[in-house]
């Protein structure tokens, strides 16, 4: 069930906000600095969770999440993916402090943390919901369920020969991919592994899944975008010894003949706290170098320049 956070979009937040810090042990100095900034603004730090001490392989307890209005994640986009998985079905709004490289989800730079907290306190923020997926791996009579924010991937694995992946939509056979694998991506994940594999960018507000084959054998196997209101099933009749199902970069199980993978929209929504004035396309240009021929007047060379 959804988490009942007191944080609401376009409203002044309650003070104190009950804040949970999540990050790897290597960012201990940043934790100390951020704790001082939070306490100076009257917020309550309810807990600091270090990934090394309490790995996100174990789900967060309801008591931990019920005590928090906001989770501040220190790290990169990978840290946010792990945080989303750690929170499970009781997602708490997340503010990302980017200590990684890209920072597509973790948008706030450390040097801007103080100004970001001031904006938060003044109500200058928005809560942006992201669709999550639920993956069910049916293998050997058991079912393993996993939440994901970005994607489910079926990978051929060693000995790295092509495999066939049957896709069924609402129980109806749709197509068979002959490829090195298949990515089933959410809109949030469309700018991650899916994009690297040649898939499209899908705006995050859309309720859709993106199906992108990896190195398909035939030219007719193209990326497909379909509604998230449907249920999808993947079957690999003859997997390789190393074939696996991967959710958000984490192997959840090897594949054997007869296994099936079911993917659907999760009931839970990942909620990201966004602070700033730049829009969606500005983020694409800044983070992904997506500017193409679009240049500002200041950046454009003078007439006659080569």
Question: Rounded to 5 degrees, what angle do the CA atoms 219, 225, 229 make?
Answer: 145
Q: What angle do CA 203, 173, 251 make, to 5 degrees?
A: 60
| pTM attached to this predicted model | 0.88
Q: How many CA atoms lie within 13 A of 300 on its CB side?
A: 9
In the chain, % of residues over pLDDT 90: 58
Other Cβ atoms less than 10 A from the Cβ of 272: the count is 22
Residue 184's CB: how many other CB atoms inside 10 A? 24
Q: Average pLDDT of 75-100? A: 91
Query: With pLDDT > 70 as the criterion, what percentage of the chain qualifies?
Result: 86
Mean pLDDT calculated for residue range 49-62: 63
Residues paired with residue 272 on neighbouring β-strands, in sequence order: 94, 128
Both ends of the chain: CA-CA distance in Å?
Answer: 59
Q: Name the residue with tokens 């090897």.
A: 254
Instruction: Domain 18-124: state its class.
Output: alpha beta
| pLDDT tens by residue, 202-254 | 998 999 999 999 999 988 888 999 999 999 999 999 999 999 999 999 999 99
How far is it between the farthest Cα atoms of the chain?
71
* The pLDDT of residue 62 is above 60: yes
Residues 276-290: tens digit of each pLDDT:
756 677 777 776 776
Two tokens, residue 67: 């005590």
For 7-52, the pLDDT digits (tens) are 876 667 777 889 999 988 788 888 899 999 999 998 988 877 766 5
Cβ proximity of 225 and 185 under 8 Å: no
Which token pair is 118? 């001031």
Q: What pLDDT is attached to residue 52?
A: 55
Q: Per DSSP, what are the bridge partners of residue 23? A: 50
Please state the CATH superfamily assignment of the domain spanning residues 133-267 in this structure.
Probable inorganic polyphosphate/atp-NAD kinase; domain 2 (2.60.200.30)
Give the side-chain half-sphere CA count within 13 A for 228.
22
269 versus 46: the higher-pLDDT residue is 269
Tell me the mean pLDDT in the region 138-162. Answer: 96
Q: Is the pLDDT of residue 78 over 70?
A: yes
- Mean pLDDT, the chain, integer: 87
Domain range annotation of the chain = 18-124, 133-267
Please identify which of the residues 77, 180, 248, 259 carries the catalytic annotation: 77
Coil, strand or helix at 285: helix
Is residue 6 scored above 80 in pLDDT?
A: no
Q: How confident is the model at residue 304 (pLDDT cuts 50, 70, 90)?
A: very low
Average pLDDT over residues 196-204: 94
The pLDDT value recorded for residue 306 is: 37
Annotation says 53 is catalytic: no
Q: What's the pLDDT score for residue 282?
A: 72
Residues 6 or more apart from 143 whose CB is under 8 A from it?
Answer: 136, 137
Phi, psi (deg, nearest 5) at residue 37: -65, -40
Q: How far is CA 292 from CA 257, 277, 297, in A?
A: 45, 22, 15
pLDDT (0 to 100) of residue 99 = 86
CB neighbours (10 Å) of residue 225?
16
Tens of pLDDT along 104-135? 788 788 899 999 999 888 888 999 999 999 99
- Contact at 8 Å (CB) between 287 and 105? no
Instruction: Indicate the pLDDT class of residue 1, thresholds 50, 70 and 90.
Output: very low
**pLDDT tier, 270 (very low <50, low <70, confident <90, very high otherwise):** very high
Distance CA 176, CA 234 (A): 9
């Amino acid at each position: 069930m959804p988490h009942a956070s007191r944080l609401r979009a376009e409203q002044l937040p309650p003070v104190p906000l009950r804040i949970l810090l999540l990050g790897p042990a290597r960012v201990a100095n940043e934790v100390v600095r951020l704790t001082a900034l939070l306490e100076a603004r009257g917020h309550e730090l309810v807990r600091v969770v270090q990934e090394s001490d309490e790995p996100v392989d174990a789900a967060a307890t309801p008591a931990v999440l019920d005590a928090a209005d906001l989770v501040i994640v220190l790290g990169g986009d990978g840290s946010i993916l792990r945080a989303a998985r750690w929170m499970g079905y009781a997602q708490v709004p997340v503010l990302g402090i980017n200590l990684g490289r890209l920072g597509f989800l973790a948008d706030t730079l450390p040097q801007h943390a103080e100004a970001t907290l001031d904006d938060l306190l003044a109500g200058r923020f928005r809560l942006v919901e992201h669709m999550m997926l639920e993956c069910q791996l049916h293998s050997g009579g058991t079912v393993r369920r996993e939440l994901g924010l970005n994607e489910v991937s079926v990978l051929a694995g060693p000995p790295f020969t092509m495999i066939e992946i049957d896709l069924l939509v609402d129980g109806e056979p749709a197509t068979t991919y002959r490829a090195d694998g298949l990515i089933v991506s959410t809109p949030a994940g469309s700018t991650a592994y899916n994009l690297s594999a040649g898939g499209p960018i899908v705006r995050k507000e859309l309720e859709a899944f993106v199906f992108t084959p990896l190195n398909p054998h035939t030219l007719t196997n193209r990326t497909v975008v379909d509604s998230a209101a449907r249920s999808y099933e993947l079957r690999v009749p003859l997997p390789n010894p190393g074939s696996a199902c991967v959710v958000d970069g984490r192997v959840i199980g090897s594949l054997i003949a007869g296994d099936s993978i079911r993917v659907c929209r999760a009931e839970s929504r990942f909620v990201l706290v966004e602070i700033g004035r730049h829009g969606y396309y500005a983020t694409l240009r800044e983070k992904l170098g997506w500017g193409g021929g679009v240049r500002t007047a200041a950046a454009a060379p003078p007439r006659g320049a080569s």
